[in-house]
Amino acid sequence: MELPFQIAEILERLEGAGFSAFVVGGCVRDALMGETPHDYDVTSSALPKEVERIFGGFRVIETGIKHGTVTLLYKGISTEITTFRVDGEYSDGRHPNSVTFSRDIRDDLSRRDFTINGIAFNPKTGLVDPFGGEADIRARVIRCIGSPGLRFSEDALRILRAVRFSSALGFRVEEETALAMLSRKSDLHKVSAERIFSELKRALCGKDIGRVMLEFPKIFAEILPPLGEQIGYGQGSKYHDSVLYEHTARAVAAAPAEPALRLAMLFHDMGKPLCRSVGEDGECHYHGHAERSAELADGLLRMLKCDNALRGRVCNIVKYHDIPVDTSRRYIRRQLSKHGLDGFRDIMNAHIADDCAKAEFVRPRIEEARRSIALAEEIAEAQPCFTLKELAVSGRDLKGIVPPSPLMGDVLAALLAEVVEEKTANEKNALLDRAREIINEKNKIDKSNAESL
Ligand code: ATP
Ligand code: MG
């Protein structure tokens, strides 16, 4: 395993001072899979104070001193160095009551969650792999270190970590581990919303999320109860060839792998069971479900402590995910003025993902949605004004022409509508002229109204 020179030097310095030191966890796993690690975690027998002493000339931040973790800024990179430790009892299903530092790497590896994450490496000793992690990487298996039931009862977040790694790496979950995840799932309520949401987002963006959602429906329903209603829910609609939960899983997997779109697809049909009606032909309809789904999404994302920007973006996608697909310029310009280019692209991408998860005959619509994205990009490039902010005149420019509100707001809205419809150019002089015309028109009408009274 090749190490960046800084990491190799950090290990050498620690060893030079008489300690043992390894890279560990995700970076070893990724390297064994032939991928370049995104960061390197170092674990060492040195205590935090000893690390501070050894790296005297460098900045050392006490990031998690209670758990033996410091962050070292060394020759342009930042690395976490954690002292070998064993965790004491867990009584709350989240944190160990105490941690004890150790001088033995094996102790440290045994507290880690999965065999694939319990491998250490050092250029002199090579791999330290007491739990068969390398073999499990080769067999593409997620397996707990030690007794799965015990490991999940210590920290229920590990249930979601197993889901996340299975989705992100495309590994299956070993049977005993999978059974323990299910029997311990109610402990997820003990875990903080922030930790859950962070793992959920990463699970959703994994390449195997479709399979993983179908394998662990009850775990997804545990964190998002309305998903439970979707399991086994027949949709009674010719557009659909699967039950609602499976449709959701397929739609999530079909969306671009970024949190906003994947979350939007997770929520997009949550309101359906609340909106069902049956037509005369026996077909089920779900009028208003997009709006109901957006309301549910809003509440659940607040519960998960999602930041406002992401929550707003997701809810907007959910609310408008089933607007018509129409490739007329007029329609697209209207949508652009309502949602902006990014917002419209999101909505069409959700539409595409949704259609990918429906019956075969719906698929031709996908091409049309793609075309409408391309058209929207073209329109936005040629004429990038869709909101008042982008209009070439502001209220201040119109002061001498238009009396103050409420008329000012009306005139600005009228000018924007004309620009969006490509009737007037988005240029200051052209818009000032149009404002004068609008006011003249209005005065004429007012005058004739007054005369006719
Ligand atoms: P990535 O950085 O790609 O998410 P990672 O394996 O490095 O993957 P981290 O969350 O960064 O994951 O954790 C680093 C290591 O710490 C893991 O590889 C694992 O050994 C250990 N670890 C992290 N969280 C837990 C946990 N909840 N229980 C036990 N061990 C854990
Ligand atoms: Mg990591």
Q: Is the minimum distance from the CB of 158 to ligand 1 under 6 angstroms? A: yes
Label residue 380 by pLDDT band (50, 70, 90): confident
Q: Is the minimum distance from the CB of 167 to ligand 1 under 6 angstroms? A: no
* Distance in Å, CA 254 to ligand 2 centroid: 27
Residue in 65, 79, 62, 97 with CA at minimum distance from that of residue 22? 79
* Average of per-residue pLDDT values in the chain: 94
Atom of ligand 1 nearest to the CA of 161: 27
Label residue 330 by pLDDT band (50, 70, 90): confident
Nearest protein CA to atom 15 of ligand 1, as residue: 25
Is 89 or 358 the better-scoring residue by pLDDT? 358
Q: Is the minimum distance from the CB of 26 to ligand 1 under 6 angstroms? A: yes
Nearest protein CA to atom 5 of ligand 1, as residue: 26
- pLDDT recorded at residue 255: 98
- Model pLDDT for residues 146-184, shown as the tens digit of each residue: 999 999 999 999 999 999 999 999 999 999 999 999 999
- pLDDT recorded at residue 292: 98
pLDDT greater than 80 at residue 385: no
- Average the pLDDT over 340-355 and give the result: 96
* Distance in Å, CA 290 to ligand 2 centroid: 37
- pLDDT recorded at residue 431: 94
- Average the pLDDT over 316-342 and give the result: 93
Q: Is the minimum distance from the CB of 69 to ligand 1 under 6 angstroms? A: no
What percent of the chain has pLDDT above 90? 80
- pLDDT recorded at residue 111: 96
* Distance in Å, CA 354 to ligand 1 centroid: 33
- Model pLDDT for residues 422-437, shown as the tens digit of each residue: 788 889 999 999 999 9
- pLDDT recorded at residue 450: 84
Label residue 39 by pLDDT band (50, 70, 90): very high
pLDDT greater than 90 at residue 364: no
- pLDDT recorded at residue 352: 97
What percent of the chain has pLDDT above 70? 100
Model's pTM, two decimal places? 0.88
- Model pLDDT for residues 92-130, shown as the tens digit of each residue: 888 888 889 999 999 999 999 999 999 999 999 999 999
- pLDDT recorded at residue 182: 98
Nearest protein CA to atom 12 of ligand 1, as residue: 26
Among the bound ligands, the one closest to the CA of 69 = 1
